[in-house]
């Protein structure tokens, strides 16, 4: 009788203890603004809903858009050292962790949104790309489409060759710089928060970025001419701290990994809608938009396709991943 009573008490208090235990906190940061025009925040929100549901509240996901957890480099460092559990952004910002993260910026490889997305979802390429930061404290859990790049200019643009002689803001790194230089422009790497002021002051003539950036930051107020060159295509990656992840119980590890992959797929359709809405907002705000003809687009892609091999030729680890990306992309053309 006493033994049965003791077992009952152990079960009751054990269950209560489990129920009252604090959930595992998972902070995820991004640099984007966190509203309906923000596909990165949408991806984070889908992930939060999925993980909290599937873990039955054992993981509490907290979202921090608009650089609330620091600048992009500080957020990435936080993930590496475990003070921040997750980060969402363009893979190119992780180039300081591993040069191969810039790979998707190689212009001329992808000719359509569908081809780009299918390459990102290809099991072999997806696994190879998400594993890049494993030795530097980073675990990739999701990779998806974000937006094609365009050029925004203070002066009218009708064709890619009109970029000649212009100072164009790019992300840091040789791929976007090589793209602009091949078009005859000068690449000016610059943090995002300085771009609008630089345009207003004439320090730069234009910007290479997606329409979701251009419309959100209202570049049309000073650089209203947008040339849709669709090179490169931009992705979004979701990473978590490997130190934090490795300390989770196996069942929670599986939930984080599986939900990361699933919401990356679920985000594709809504992201395309966000891009479409951003194009309409650009025009509604007074911006002008020029689309290339199919012949112009193919000619540009062929011209830019030499940038990647030129950059990676003397770097075997980068060239191997580039060759894998190129072979994968060619299967989905």
Give the residue among 226, 228, 207, 214 at the shortest CA–CA distance from 294.
228
- Give dist(CA 311, CA 15) in Å, integer: 58
Give the residue among 129, 52, 66, 144 at the shortest CA–CA distance from 94.
129
What pLDDT does 10 receive? 44
For residue 146, give both structure tokens. Answer: 């974000």
For residue 113, give both structure tokens. Answer: 């949104």
Please name each of the domains of the chain with its CATH number: 2-331 (3.40.190.170)
Question: What confidence tens digit (pLDDT) does each residue in 160-189 have?
Answer: 999 999 999 998 889 999 999 999 999 999
- Give dist(CA 194, CA 190) in Å, integer: 7
Contact 192, 136 (CB under 8 A): no
What pLDDT does 193 receive? 81
Give the residue among 175, 156, 174 at the shortest CA–CA distance from 166.
156
Contact 84, 241 (CB under 8 A): yes
Contact 191, 327 (CB under 8 A): no
Sequence-separated (6 or more) residues with CB below 8 Å from residue 228: 148, 150, 211, 289, 290, 291, 292
- Give dist(CA 102, CA 169) in Å, integer: 17
Question: What confidence tens digit (pLDDT) does each residue in 263-286 have?
Answer: 999 999 999 999 999 999 999 999
Assign 204 a pLDDT band (cuts: 50, 70, 90).
very high
150: region left, alpha or beta (phi > 0 left; psi from -120 to 50 alpha): beta
Question: Does residue 21 have a pLDDT over 80?
Answer: no
- Give dist(CA 294, CA 92) in Å, integer: 28
Q: 152: how many CB neighbours lie within 10 A of its CB?
A: 28
Sequence-separated (6 or more) residues with CB below 8 Å from residue 78: 29, 69, 70, 84, 87, 241
- Give dist(CA 232, CA 186) in Å, integer: 17
CA atoms within 13 A on the CB side of 200: 9
**How far from each other are the two terminal CA atoms of the chain, in whole angstroms?**
73
Directed axis angle between helix 113-121 and helix 123-130, to 10°? Answer: 70
What pLDDT does 12 receive? 43
What pLDDT does 191 receive? 81
Q: What is the mean pLDDT of the chain?
A: 93
What pLDDT does 244 receive? 98
Per-residue b or e along 164-195, where b marks 16 or more CB atoms closer than 10 Å to that residue's CB: eebebbbbebbbbbbbbbbbebbbbebebeeb
Q: Would you give the DSSP letter of residue 206?
A: E
Contact 155, 175 (CB under 8 A): no
Contact 307, 232 (CB under 8 A): no
For residue 281, give both structure tokens. Answer: 């907002």
Between 14 and 47, the more confident residue is 47
What pLDDT does 227 receive? 98
Give the residue among 234, 214, 236 at the shortest CA–CA distance from 225.
214
Q: Give the predicted TM-score (pTM) of the model.
A: 0.91
Sequence-separated (6 or more) residues with CB below 8 Å from residue 73: 93, 96
């Amino acid at each position: 009788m006493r033994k049965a009573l003791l077992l009952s008490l152990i079960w009751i208090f054990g269950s209560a203890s489990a129920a009252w235990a604090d959930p595992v906190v998972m902070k995820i940061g991004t640099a984007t603004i966190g509203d309906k025009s923000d596909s990165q925040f949408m991806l984070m929100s889908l992930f939060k809903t999925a993980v909290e549901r599937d873990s039955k509240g054992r993981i509490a996901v907290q979202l921090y858009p608009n650089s609330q957890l620091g600048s992009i480099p500080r957020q990435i460092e936080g993930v590496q050292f475990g003070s921040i559990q997750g980060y969402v952004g363009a893979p190119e910002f992780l180039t300081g962790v591993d040069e191969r993260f810039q790979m998707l910026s190689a212009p001329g490889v992808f000719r359509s949104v569908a081809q780009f997305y299918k390459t990102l979802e290809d099991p072999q390429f997806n696994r190879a790309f998400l594993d890049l930061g494993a030795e530097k404290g980073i675990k990739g859990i999701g990779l998806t489409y974000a937006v094609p790049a365009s050029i925004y200019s203070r002066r009218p643009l009708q064709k890619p060759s009109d970029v000649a002689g212009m100072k164009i803001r790019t992300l840091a790194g040789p791929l976007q710089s090589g793209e602009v230089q091949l078009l005859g422009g000068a690449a000016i790497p610059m943090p995002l928060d300085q771009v609008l002021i630089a345009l207003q002051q004439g320090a730069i003539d234009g910007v290479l970025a997606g329409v979701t950036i251009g419309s959100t930051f209202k570049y049309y107020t000073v650089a209203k001419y947008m040339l849709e060159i669709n090179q490169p295509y931009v992705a979004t990656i979701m990473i978590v701290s490997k130190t934090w992840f490795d300390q989770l119980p196996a069942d929670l590890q599986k939930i984080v990994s599986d939900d990361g992959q699933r919401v990356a797929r679920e985000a594709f359709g809504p992201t395309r809608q966000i891009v479409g809405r951003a194009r309409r907002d650009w025009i509604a705000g007074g911006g002008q938009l020029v689309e290339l003809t199919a012949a112009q687009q193919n000619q540009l892609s062929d011209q830019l396709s030499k940038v990647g091999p030129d950059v990676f030729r003397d770097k075997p680890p980068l060239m191997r991943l580039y060759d894998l990306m190129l072979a994968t992309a060619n299967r989905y053309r």
